[in-house]
Amino acid sequence: MRILNFGSCNIDYVYTVEHIVVPGETVSSSKLELFAGGKGLNQSIAAARAGAKVFHAGCLGNDGGMLKEVLVDSGVDISNVTELDTKNGHAIIQVSSQGENSIFLYPGSNALVTKEIIDSVLKKFGKDDILLLQNEISNVHYIIDEAFSKGMIIAFNPAPFTQSLKSIDFSKIGYLILNETEAMGFTGISDTQLCLDYICNRFKNLTVILTLGKEGSVYRHNDETIHQSAFDVKAVDTTAAGDTFIGYFLASICDGVGIKKALKTASCASAVTVSKMGAAPSIPYMSEVKEALINLKELSLDKRRLTSKKIEAYIEENLKTANLKGIAEILGYTKEYAGTIIKKETGLTFSALLQKKKCEKAAELLTKTTMSVGEIIEETGYANQSFFRKQFKEIYGTTPLNFRKEN
């Protein structure tokens, strides 16, 4: 079985700046670094490093030399890549000294995948091959229709999610592999179980794999559901976690191992990725994953629960100063990922959780001490009285003084 990945290749230009540029301003950058990226490129690399026979297809610009090199070095066949005399797809990324970033994307060559190019590539593949696809190139609907009519098995990663994907005929998809954000985009449902029910009830026979970050992943095909835990690593950069998972899962399927083993290998490979900085360079080779399968442990439920305890304890101890950066440091995540984890673990956004904890503390001080409302506001770090009163009423349904009287 071969994998044909019709996907994006990007150049990430990462500029280090003192602060993110604001409208009308010019800032000077102290450092420029170039990285290979794009979900297509990452997934091709992951599947090839896992040992699969991978053919990458898509369009590169006249500045895409470094991307070709990365693909070839990882063992990807690039004979179906089209080179165009245009700018390659790229991202301009500013990273400030405070760790914030700002990104804009120019699709460039990735948006120039035409029907003619697609036809000329697909004619070389058939029903024994897997077509892998994401949502970062042009003509995604057309590729699905044509690959399906050739009898190819289609593995679709609907990332990034856009509304146009809702009109895809999912009866043509074999494997739908998506993360929680994408699943939420499709269904509008945040609960994992309900979300899977919704997708699988609508599209019978579709195999869905939902990745859940540190919570692992869930596989569902008709009545069969398999949960795979994440592996226990210190996460330093979660970029390309999903891409590694997809590449390794499909490579394992090509290898003919069962679903359970494929999920376990994919989970372990993506854990190795999150334990290293960067995208493509952090994607491991199979030899490293085999070692990790021996040395790493799957996260137990208790350990996962610990995460929400740690988040709550940190906020309780730092009511006045708690911020996402602080939580990220404690958990070993990036700031952005810490935000996602808090939502996942507690069901609340960081600011909603902070308000809840502040109100809980205020309620405790109201009942257990004689402190005035002003002192309590000071103690819990509220910015002003009216905000405190509004929040308190929303959570406890009464005013602080009535609450004190009633309790």
Q: Which residues bind ligand ADP (CB under 6 A)?
A: 179, 211-214, 216-217, 230-231, 233, 235, 238, 241-242, 245, 267, 270-271, 274
CB 238 within 8 A of CB 337: yes
Tokens in use for 258? 């069962």
Of 80 and 334, the one with the shorter C-beta distance to ligand ADP is 334
The conformational region for residue 169 under phi > 0 = left, psi -120 to 50 = alpha, else beta, is beta
Of 60 and 327, the one with the shorter C-beta distance to ligand ADP is 327
Report, in Å, the least distance between residue 46 CB and ligand ADP: 11
Cα–Cα distance between 212 and 267 in angstroms, integer? 11
Report, in Å, the least distance between residue 202 CB and ligand ADP: 22
Query: What is the Cα 121 distance to its own chain's centre?
Result: 29
Report, in Å, the least distance between residue 326 CB and ligand ADP: 18
Closest CA to 45 of 64, 25, 73, 4: 73
Query: What is the Cα 38 distance to its own chain's centre?
Result: 13
In degrees to the nearest 10, what's the CA dihedral of 192, 205, 163, 239?
A: 60
Cα–Cα distance between 393 and 378 in angstroms, integer? 18
Of 214 and 404, the one with the shorter C-beta distance to ligand ADP is 214
Report, in Å, the least distance between residue 209 CB and ligand ADP: 9
Report, in Å, the least distance between residue 172 CB and ligand ADP: 22
Its sign, for the CA torsion 77, 80, 81, 85, is positive
Cα–Cα distance between 105 and 92 in angstroms, integer? 6
Question: Which residue's CB comes closest to ligand ADP?
Answer: 242
Of 50 and 81, the one with the shorter C-beta distance to ligand ADP is 50
Q: Which segments of 150-285 does DSSP mark as H helices, in order?
A: 180-187, 192-202, 241-254, 259-274
Cα–Cα distance between 271 and 40 in angstroms, integer? 20
Report, in Å, the least distance between residue 396 CB and ligand ADP: 35
Q: Which residues contact 79 (CB under 8 A, 6 or more apart)?
A: 55
Active-site annotation holder among 73, 197, 243, 302: 243
Q: Which residues contact 328 (CB under 8 A, 6 or more apart)?
A: 334, 335, 337, 338
CB 154 within 8 A of CB 4: no
Report, in Å, the least distance between residue 174 CB and ligand ADP: 19
Of 121 and 178, the one with the shorter C-beta distance to ligand ADP is 178
Question: Is 243 considered catalytic here?
Answer: yes
Tokens in use for 304? 């996962």
In degrees to the nearest 10, what's the CA dihedral of 9, 13, 19, 21?
A: -80
Q: Which residues contact 114 (CB under 8 A, 6 or more apart)?
A: 138, 139
Of 335 and 357, the one with the shorter C-beta distance to ligand ADP is 335
Residue 217 phi, psi dihedral angles, 5° rounding:
-155, 160
Report, in Å, the least distance between residue 256 CB and ligand ADP: 22
Of 238 and 380, the one with the shorter C-beta distance to ligand ADP is 238
Of 213 and 400, the one with the shorter C-beta distance to ligand ADP is 213
Just list the catalytic residues: 243
